[in-house]
Amino acid sequence: MASLVRPCFQDAAAAGPAARIFAWGARAVYIGPALNLSAHRNAVAVVALGLDDAFGVGDPPVATSGRYRRCRSVVIPPGTLHHFADTRGRMVFLYLDPFSKDLARLRASAQGPAPHAAFDLSVEDALIRILTALADDRADWTATRTALESLLSPPADRAIDPRVETALAMLHGRAGDRLSLDTLAVRVGLSESRLRHLFKDATGVPLRRYRLWVAMRAAMTAMARGETLTAAAMVGGFASSAHFSAAFRAMFGMEPSRLAKGRMAIGE
pLDDT in tens, 127-183: 999 999 999 999 998 899 889 988 886 555 556 788 998 998 898 888 888 888 999
Cross-strand bridge partners of residue 73: 49
**Which among 11-20, 77-86, 113-122, 131-140 has the top mean pLDDT?**
131-140
How far, in Å, CA of 55 to CA of 191, rounded?
A: 45
Residue from 268, 20, 14 nearest 137 by CA:
20
Omega of the bond leading into 60 within 30 degrees of 0 (cis): yes
Q: Three-class SS string for 190-226?
A: CCHHHHHHHHHHHHCCCHHHHHHHHHHHHHHHHHHCC
- Give the residue, 16 or 37, on which the prediction is more confident: 37
pLDDT at 25 over 60: yes
pTM score:
0.75
- Parallel, antiparallel, or unpaired: how do β-strands 264-267 and 19-24 relate? parallel
- Whether 155 contacts 99, CB under 8 Å: yes
Angle at CA of residue 248, ends 93 and 262, nearest 5°:
65
- Whether 110 contacts 119, CB under 8 Å: yes
- Could you tell me the sign of the dihedral formed by the alpha carbons of 103, 105, 107, 112, in that order? negative
- Whether 45 contacts 102, CB under 8 Å: yes
H or E element at residue 95:
strand 90-95
Q: For the chain, give me the number of helices (H) and strands (E)?
A: 10, 12
pLDDT at 13 over 50: no
How far, in Å, CA of 201 to CA of 214, rounded?
A: 18
How far, in Å, CA of 157 to CA of 264, rounded?
A: 35
Q: Is 67 left (phi over 0), alpha (psi -120 to 50) or beta?
A: beta
H or E element at residue 245:
helix 241-252
- Whether 45 contacts 110, CB under 8 Å: no
Residue from 99, 58, 65, 101 nearest 80 by CA:
58
Confidence of residue 242 (pLDDT cuts 50, 70, 90): very high
